[in-house]
Amino acid sequence: MPLAAIFDCEGSRASAEEKALFKDVDPWGFIVFARHCSSAEELRAHCDELRECVGREDAPILIDQEGGRVVRMKPPAFPEHPAPALFGDLHRLDPQKAVEASHLNGYLLGRLVSDCGVNVDCIPMIDVPQPDADPVVIGDRAYAKHPETIVKLARAAMDGLMEGGALPVIKHIPGHGRGLCDSHYELPCVGASKDDLVNTDFYTFRMLSDAPMGMTAHVVYEAYDKERCATLSPVVINEVIRGAIGFDGLLMSDDLKMKALGGPLDARARDSLAAGCDIALCCNFTMAEKREVLNGIGALESKAAARADAALAPLKAPERGDTSEAYKRLQELLKPVIS
């Protein structure tokens, strides 16, 4: 069975040492960043090399291509996509057109990434932003302020993305919207009551719990576990994510190198998997760090393996026709909210 991990490459392409490691340990999947996306040709070649290393044509390759400020495939090599908040702005003017636009944008994102060999896009981000939350980590990455609107627009985006040939990942489960700091740098602690969390923060994830994959939040929810963030908390994963939310898809950690987490990398991986994550997401690890983290990661087994297979099952290749008319239609729909 594949290793319960997702890795990337330090350079623009896999080094000989990285290729040898990947062939040896067989990670379940990979993730790409801007350094791998200088052109469509380079990204496609990189994806082909990674899959050749593990000998699986459908090996998942992930990207964070949300639109707006969180993109890896950037202009001028690739077309620009709007930030999710624009669809919420349009929804206030015309809900029907907003849903159409979000679906179309999802489709075009799916086509954009899958045309280059990437088959998982880490969208939609369905965190519900709160007024006093950190404005950078969420901000215009959120579709809207109201959970019901987020669900409508995110559902449309997910459906469109899969039609475009890529699988979605709901994040950051069970909700990063109350975080007072950015978990890339600090550990957010949320003191909201269970009722507030269930009725607001968890609502979007519960309504989209049929998504094939989800990514955890490095956030402490004091009402459930005062010591451990969701990624490392059996209580949050079992009682909230698998229980109250009802998510039974493949659960991956957020990036284990983020500063919200402490301790050695292998311990972070071991603790996240022991808590109930299915996959350890290891981004921007050096070769030494990749080797270190292997001490905390085993092969996908039992329920995690079944979830991994089920997550990839809906993946279908789209027709590869021209998308220029679809981009024109998207611009037309968004015209009222684009300044």
What is residue 136's predicted lDDT score, i.e. its pLDDT?
Answer: 74
Of 94, 146, 159, 184, the catalytic one is 184
Task: Pick the more confident residue, 134 or 48.
Answer: 48
Per-residue confidence at 270, pLDDT binned at 50, 70, 90? very high
DSSP letters of 240-281? IIIIIS---SEEEPSPTTSTTS-S-HHHHHHHHHHHT-SBEE
* Whether 81 is catalytic: no
Query: Given this model, what pLDDT does residue 129 score?
Result: 94
Task: Express each pLDDT in 292-318 by its tens digit.
Answer: 999 999 999 999 999 999 999 999 999
Q: What per-residue confidence (pLDDT) applies to 133? A: 74
For 192-206, the pLDDT digits (tens) are: 999 999 999 999 999
Q: Pick the catalytic residue: 254, 255, 266, 278?
A: 254
The single residue listed with the structure tokens 């939350």 is 133
Query: Is 254 part of the annotated catalytic residue set?
Result: yes
Residue 282 pLDDT class (50, 70, 90 cuts): very high
Q: How far is CA 339 from CA 109, 177, 276, 306, in A?
A: 22, 26, 44, 47
CATH number at residue 305: 3.20.20.300
Query: Where would I find the H helices in 115-232?
Result: 147-163, 194-196, 203-207
Which pLDDT value is given to residue 93? 98
Helices 40-54, 16-25: axis angle to 10 degrees equals: 40
Kindly state the DSSP code that residue 67 receives in the 8-state scheme. B
**What digits encode the pLDDT tens for the residues 101-146?**
999 999 999 999 999 999 999 999 999 998 877 777 788 999 999 9
Confidence at residue 71, expressed as pLDDT on a 0 to 100 scale = 98
- Helix-, strand-, coil-residue percentages of the chain, each rounded to 5: 45, 10, 45
Amino acid residing at 160: G
pLDDT of residue 331: 98
- If you average pLDDT over residues 159-187, what whole number do you get? 91
pLDDT of the residue at 183? 78
Q: What is the pTM of this model?
A: 0.97
Q: Which domain holds residue 59?
A: 3-337
How far apart CA 96 and CA 230 sit, in angstroms, is 35
Q: Lowest mean pLDDT of 176-185, 212-221, 259-268, name the range.
A: 176-185
Two tokens, residue 147: 């959970």
Q: What percent of the chain has pLDDT over 90?
A: 92
Q: What percentage of the chain has pLDDT greater than the value 70? A: 100
List, for residues 50-99, the tens digit of each pLDDT value.
999 999 999 999 999 999 999 999 999 999 999 999 999 999 999 999 99
Query: Across the chain, what does the average pLDDT equal?
Result: 96
Rounded CA gap, 256 and 184, in Å? 10
What pLDDT, on a 0 to 100 scale, did the predictor assign at position 185?
Answer: 72
- Which pLDDT tens digit goes with each residue over 9-36? 999 999 999 999 999 999 999 999 999 9
Number of separate domains in the chain: 1
What is the pLDDT, as a whole number, of residue 132?
76
The strand ranges marked E within the chain are: 3-7, 27-31, 61-63, 120-121, 167-168, 170-173, 189-190, 213-216, 220-221, 250-252, 280-281
For residue 21, the model assigns a pLDDT of: 98
